[in-house]
């Protein structure tokens, strides 16, 4: 039965004739959905979890409050990624499935390793949510759903390891595949020569220069099932400082991709969080630098729950179109730079 199901999935996924720039053909609604990007994501998670366990000593993990059983949980997460990457490789087939790459990571301490893991698994999870309902192949959507629900648990566990509140949201947002690829590509240094070339867009990078560092700010919060923080990492109304790159930078494996944008002058900052895409005005301060203000608001009005919380995706846009979680791809054409990940809680 499973063999037959995989054949059905393969027949649907095999329709990978690429059309317009950054838009592979196929997909339901506004998105197109070859799942090769999901395999790139599973591979980096597999490597990352092993790398962190090998890089840091037992004493370093113990000093960060992570004992032997915690380290084994990270090891088991790596084993989960073996299963996930095997599943997607089987879906794509031996001639189309990319192989594992080489990676560069931005951390030098256990706490920063944990912080990077909770951010990487956040955009990995949200990246799959963004395309899952657009898949032509409903059998493959079902299989991917059963893997991404595991990754959601991984993301929450890394928040607990970091001393953060485990799930400070009512809903987890999806993002487009070009947004996910923009966040992932800078950490891939090289890939096998014949690896699948992804057609997704790489937007210019956006940096939040005063982004709250949860690893530092929660240094006194040891790993735990939960911490009900009385002092939030951020609050509505505070200034968020931004810098961004021009398009045309080589990024990704072997610098084989190039950042592009079809947008005009940046005017807004889009905040993708929970069910909403909220816009705030961008104040341009200098050449490729500016600021905005963290928005407030609650999901369903007063006395419900804050719209902005957890790890939020923000980007500079040239317009403020109304988009929904299903047609979020319509925002791609308006992105000047980003997304970046804002650690609001």
Instruction: Quick: pLDDT tens for 168-208.
Output: 999 999 999 999 999 999 999 999 998 988 989 999 999 99
β-strand 283-286 against 276-281: which pairing, if any? unpaired
Beta carbons of 168 and 116 less than 8 angstroms apart: no
- In this predicted model, which residue has the larger pLDDT, 317 or 139? 317
* pLDDT confidence bin for 324, thresholds 50/70/90: very high
DSSP state of 18: B
Tell me the per-residue pLDDT of 123-167, one tens digit each, with 9 for 90 and over. 999 999 999 988 888 888 999 999 999 999 999 999 999 999 999
64 — phi, psi (to 5°)? -90, 5
Q: What is the pLDDT of residue 214?
A: 83
C-alpha torsion angle, residues 58, 60, 66, 70 (rounded to 10):
-40
Comparing CA positions, the residue from 45, 35, 9 lying closest to residue 150 is 45
Tokens matching residue 154: 């991984």
Quote the pTM value.
0.91
Alpha-carbon distance 323 to 268, whole Å?
14
Alpha-carbon distance 174 to 73, whole Å?
26
Please state which of the ranges 9-13, 32-36, 235-239 shows the lowest mean pLDDT.
9-13
Alpha-carbon distance 85 to 90, whole Å?
9
Comparing CA positions, the residue from 98, 143, 97, 149 lying closest to residue 125 is 149
DSSP state of 94: T
DSSP state of 339: E
Tokens matching residue 237: 């109304």
Tokens matching residue 321: 């179109």
Please state which of the ranges 6-10, 67-71, 128-132 shows the lowest mean pLDDT.
6-10
């Amino acid at each position: 039965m499973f063999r037959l199901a995989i054949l059905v999935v393969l027949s649907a996924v095999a329709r990978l004739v690429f059309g317009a720039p950054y838009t592979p053909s196929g997909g339901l609604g506004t998105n197109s959905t070859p799942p090769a990007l999901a395999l790139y994501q599973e591979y980096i998670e597999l490597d990352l979890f092993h790398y962190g366990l090998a890089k840091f000593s037992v004493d370093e993990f113990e000093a960060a409050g992570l004992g032997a059983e915690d380290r084994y949980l990270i090891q088991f997460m790596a084993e989960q990624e073996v299963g996930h990457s095997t599943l997607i490789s089987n879906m794509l087939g031996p001639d189309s499935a990319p192989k594992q790459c080489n990676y560069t990571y931005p951390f030098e301490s256990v706490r920063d390793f944990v912080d990077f893991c909770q951010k990487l698994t956040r955009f990995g999870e949200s990246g799959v949510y963004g395309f899952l309902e657009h898949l032509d192949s409903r059998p493959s959507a079902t299989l991917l759903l059963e893997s991404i629900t595991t990754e959601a648990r991984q993301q929450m566990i890394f928040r607990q390891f970091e001393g953060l509140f485990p799930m400070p949201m009512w809903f987890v947002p999806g993002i487009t595949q070009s947004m996910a690829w923009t966040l992932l590509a800078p950490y891939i240094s090289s890939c096998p020569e014949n690896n699948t070339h992804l057609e997704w867009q790489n937007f210019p990078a956006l940096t939040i220069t005063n982004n709250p560092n949860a690893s530092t700010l929660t240094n006194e919060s040891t790993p735990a099932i939960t911490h009900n923080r009385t002092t939030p990492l951020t609050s509505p109304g505070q200034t968020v400082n931004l810098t961004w790159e021009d398009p045309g930078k080589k990024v990704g494996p072997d610098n084989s991709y190039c950042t592009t944008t079809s947008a005009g002058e940046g005017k807004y900052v889009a905040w993708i969080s929970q069910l909403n895409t909220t816009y705030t005005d961008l104040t341009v301060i200098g050449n490729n630098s500016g600021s905005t203000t963290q928005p407030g608001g609650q999901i369903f009005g007063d006395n419900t729950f804050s719209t902005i919380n957890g790890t939020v995706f923000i980007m500079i846009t040239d317009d403020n179109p109304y988009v929904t979680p299903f047609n979020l791809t319509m925002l791609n054409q308006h992105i000047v730079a980003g997304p970046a990940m804002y650690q609001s809680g």
